[in-house]
Structure formats: structure tokens, C-alpha cells
């Protein structure tokens, strides 16, 4: 089950103030709804329904998975195209660079929004800008690193919203011109994070000088398990940590250039697991509580009932995993519980609970009283003080 198209930053399909929304069936839990939407909805307990009333950006979770999106003002007919504006222009060498925006259709390796990150970039992949470039609310500016080689291009994805929360995205090919530069340089290229036990690979980016190049690590150390071959590092990291080092490139005329780099290796992820935890028996009419506890995975973890039925009167809390309430019916109840973590991993476990019938109220045998026999009744004397 998913929210309608546009709840995840599709400018042309985002929700609009005054337009009814129906999402379901299949909604077990939801949070962060825009004003005007309700859960459970009027069409059933597993629906979200209503009419958005307030424009803005909203985010939350549904069935344990994150969602995010915009509500546009009623006056907004659709998404807007981002305004390219004018980019900073410059000249060669270490001066401000020159680049020109041209509409492109390549997969975007970079993401920039022109509101200085005041709104999400609509799910486009976020990776660093090239070395020396920075983003501000006015656009992109920066300085070409010394000795950068021939002009090169990269793809820029822009995400823009207007005051009515109409959202548009557009990709542009950026042609970077460095003029008469040509000195040798090397860039780390933004090494990604790695994980213990997972294969890791990354390449450095030399430019200028006179190829071919040779490389060396002249200070610091690579993560254990990772080695350098030419201008690349690869291997299977064995130890978590942050590893800083300096890479040196040497060209065929013995010119050199250094750059400092850093690689972060995180500990191996613990798989998500879920057990019943031995739910105790209960008694009809008596308060009952038991908590299912997941381990591992990426928090937060959300719980749900997959199949079967809980004893009537008991409710499962999706956030805490607690099942509590006052059961009203005796019997043995089998069901399946799921746990879903923030990374989308899902595990299930089959459980059962036995609810015993309530004990009968104790009573003695009836007492026979002969007909016409007077029974003594002691009443207080009204003439005496109490």
C-alpha cells in the first residue's frame, strides 16, 4: 500500500488544498498527516481520507515506512520549472570558474536546490559538488582548484518550489571551463562510506600535468583490509573507524600534487530479528499486557498484525510493540506479528495466546425458611441517643 503519486515530491501529482484524498485499503499505521486528513478514514479502519487544508511540506511514516510530500495551495495548477538564473562566470586557473547551464537528460550525480536546503530535493540522489564549488541560496559559486586540467562536465539536478508549494525538478549539464590551466592536481572525489564485511572501491581523480600518472599514500593509512592499486582503493574493510590519509600523484615529468582524504567505515549491520517473547496466558475480564521486542535492524522499528486475530479487547501498539487491553473472550488465538525497520527490512513471527475463562463467583446453598415463621429484626430505639 502506498500513498497516491505525488506524496513523494512529484510536482505534477502532489496533493492540493481542497482536493479530496483517499488512500487504502491496507493502511495499518500512519503519522504526520497534513491537516484535513484523518486515519482511520470514513471508508474503513485501514483508509486515510479527507481534504488537505494547509499548504506545506509534510513527512511521517505509513505501515512503518517513511513518506514525504507537498500539499500545494489551491491556486497552484502544477509543478513549476526551476529558474536557472545566471551562474557565476570566471576565467582560468585558480580564478572563479565558468560554467553554462544546458538542459540535459543524464542521470544526476549532483543535487542542488536554490532555497538553501529549506525544502527537500524530492528524492534526487544527494552527493557532494565537485571540489571547490559551493551552493548558496543564490546559486552555485566557487573556485577551480589550482592546476585543474581540461574543461569537463557534470549533471546538476535542481529542485525548486514556489510560495504555493508547487514543486519542479530539472536536470542540467554543467560545462566547467578552466581556461589556460594545466598544472597537475588530484581530488579525493568524495569517497563514500563503507561497512565492515562489505566490498569497498573508490577512485581518485587526477587532472592536468603530463600523463601517465603514478600514485602513493604518503601519510596516514587506509582502512584495514583496503589496499591501493594505481589510482584506486578497494577491498573488504575489517575494522570500523574514520581513516585519514594523503594521496600523492606524480606525472611523467616528476610533477607532484597531494590531497588529503578520509574514509569512514561503519560496523557491520545487525540483521533485524523478532521473537514472540513467550506471551503469558491471560484471563477474560482481567487486564493483559505483553510486548514484542525486535532486535537489530535500523531504528525506528514498527510492528503490525499480519495474519490471524488478537484476542478481542487487545490492541497492538505499532510504535512500541506492546499488546494490551482487557480480553473479553476465552480461547487460544494464533496470529503473525511483523516488524519493519527504517531501512525497509521486514521480519515476521508466529505467536499464540491462551485466554482462560473468568472464574465463577462463589455462592452458598439456599436457606429454607418455614412458612409463617417470623424473622427477628433488630431496630435502634429512637428514644435513645446514638
Instruction: For residue range 207-232, list pLDDT tens digits in order.
Output: 887 788 999 999 999 999 999 999 99
Q: From 98, 141, 96, select the one nearest 116 (Cα to Cα).
A: 141
d(CA 27, CA 39): 9
Least confident of 13-17, 52-56, 275-279: 13-17
- In this structure, the answer to whether residues 224 and 242 fall within a common structural domain is yes
Residue 362 has pLDDT above 90, yes or no: no
Q: Name the percent of the chain lying above pLDDT 70.
A: 61
Question: Residue 378: inside a domain, yes or no?
Answer: no
Segment 119-144 shows an average pLDDT of: 50
Least confident of 97-106, 131-140, 295-304, 328-337: 97-106
Among 224, 240, 266, residue at a domain's last position: 266
Separation in Å, CA 368 to CA 134, 365, 371, 375 = 99, 10, 9, 12
Question: Residue 257: inside a domain, yes or no?
Answer: yes
Question: Residue 332: inside a domain, yes or no?
Answer: yes
Among 114, 149, 177, residue at a domain's last position: 177
Residue 14 has pLDDT above 70, yes or no: no
Among 111, 145, 177, residue at a domain's last position: 177
Segment 296-319 shows an average pLDDT of: 93
C-alpha cell of 298? 535500523
Going by pLDDT thresholds of 50, 70 and 90, the confidence category of residue 304 is very high
Which CATH number goes with the domain that contains 281? 2.60.40.10
So what's the pLDDT on residue 370? Answer: 67
So what's the pLDDT on residue 130? Answer: 59
Question: Residue 305: inside a domain, yes or no?
Answer: yes
CB 33 within 8 Å of CB 3: no
Residue 262 has pLDDT above 50, yes or no: yes
Can you give the residue range of the structural domain that contains 193?
Answer: 189-266
- In this structure, the answer to whether residues 260 and 288 fall within a common structural domain is no
So what's the pLDDT on residue 75? Answer: 55
Question: Residue 249: inside a domain, yes or no?
Answer: yes
Going by pLDDT thresholds of 50, 70 and 90, the confidence category of residue 89 is very low
Segment 247-255 shows an average pLDDT of: 85
Kind of pairing between the strands at 346-356 and 282-283? parallel
Number of domains in the chain: 4
Supply the mean pLDDT for the chain.
Answer: 73
Question: Residue 79: inside a domain, yes or no?
Answer: no
Residue 44 has pLDDT above 70, yes or no: yes
Question: Residue 157: inside a domain, yes or no?
Answer: yes
d(CA 335, CA 154): 53
Question: Residue 261: inside a domain, yes or no?
Answer: yes
Residue 288 has pLDDT above 70, yes or no: yes
Half-sphere CA count of 169, side-chain side, radius 13 A: 25
- In this structure, the answer to whether residues 236 and 281 fall within a common structural domain is no
Indicate the pTM of the whole model: 0.33
So what's the pLDDT on residue 177? Answer: 44
C-alpha cell of 330? 476465552
Amino acid at each position: 500500500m502506498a500513498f497516491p503519486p505525488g506524496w513523494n515530491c512529484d510536482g505534477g501529482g502532489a496533493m492540493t488544498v481542497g482536493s479530496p484524498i483517499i488512500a487504502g485499503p491496507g493502511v495499518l499505521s500512519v503519522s504526520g498527516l497534513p491537516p484535513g486528513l484523518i486515519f482511520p478514514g470514513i471508508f474503513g479502519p485501514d483508509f486515510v481520507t479527507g481534504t488537505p487544508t494547509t499548504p506545506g511540506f509534510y513527512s511521517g511514516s505509513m505501515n512503518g515506512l517513511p513518506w514525504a510530500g507537498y500539499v500545494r495551495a489551491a491556486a497552484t495548477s502544477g509543478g513549476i520549472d526551476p529558474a536557472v538564473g545566471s551562474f557565476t562566470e570566471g576565467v582560468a586557473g585558480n580564478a572563479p570558474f565558468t560554467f553554462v547551464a544546458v538542459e540535459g537528460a543524464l542521470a544526476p550525480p549532483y543535487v542542488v536546490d536554490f532555497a538553501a536546503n529549506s525544502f527537500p530535493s524530492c528524492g534526487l540522489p544527494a552527493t557532494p559538488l565537485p571540489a571547490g564549488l559551493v551552493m548558496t541560496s543564490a546559486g552555485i559559486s566557487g573556485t577551480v582548484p589550482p592546476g585543474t586540467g581540461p574543461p569537463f562536465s557534470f549533471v546538476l539536478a535542481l529542485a525548486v518550489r514556489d510560495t504555493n508549494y508547487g514543486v519542479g525538478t530539472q536536470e542540467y549539464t554543467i560545462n566547467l571551463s578552466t581556461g589556460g590551466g594545466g598544472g597537475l592536481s588530484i581530488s579525493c572525489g568524495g569517497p563514500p562510506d563503507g561497512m565492515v564485511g562489505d566490498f569497498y572501491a573508490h577512485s581518485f581523480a587526477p587532472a592536468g600535468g603530463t600523463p601517465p600518472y603514478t600514485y602513493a599514500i604518503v601519510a596516514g593509512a587506509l582502512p584495514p583490509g583496503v589496499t591501493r592499486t594505481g589510482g584506486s582503493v578497494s577491498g573488504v574493510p575489517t575494522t570500523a573507524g574514520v581513516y585519514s590519509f594523503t594521496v600523492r600523484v606524480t606525472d611523467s615529468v616528476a610533477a607532484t600534487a597531494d590531497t588529503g582524504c578520509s574514509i569512514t567505515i561503519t560496523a557491520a549491520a545487525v540483521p533485524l530479528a523478532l521473537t514472540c517473547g513467550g506471551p503469558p496466558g491471560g484471563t477474560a475480564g482481567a487486564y493483559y499486557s505483553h510486548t514484542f521486542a525486535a532486535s537489530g535492524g535500523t531504528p525506528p522499528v514498527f510492528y503490525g498484525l499480519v495474519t490471524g486475530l488478537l484476542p478481542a479487547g487487545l490492541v497492538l501498539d505499532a510504535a512500541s510493540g506492546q499488546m494490551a487491553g482487557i480480553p473479553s473472550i476465552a480461547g487460544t488465538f494464533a496470529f503473525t506479528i511483523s516488524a519493519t525497520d527504517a531501512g525497509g527490512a521486514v521480519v515476521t513471527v508466529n505467536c499464540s495466546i491462551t485466554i482462560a475463562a473468568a472464574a465463577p463467583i462463589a455462592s452458598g446453598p439456599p436457606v429454607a425458611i418455614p412458612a409463617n415463621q417470623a424473622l427477628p429484626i433488630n431496630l435502634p430505639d429512637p428514644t435513645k441517643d446514638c
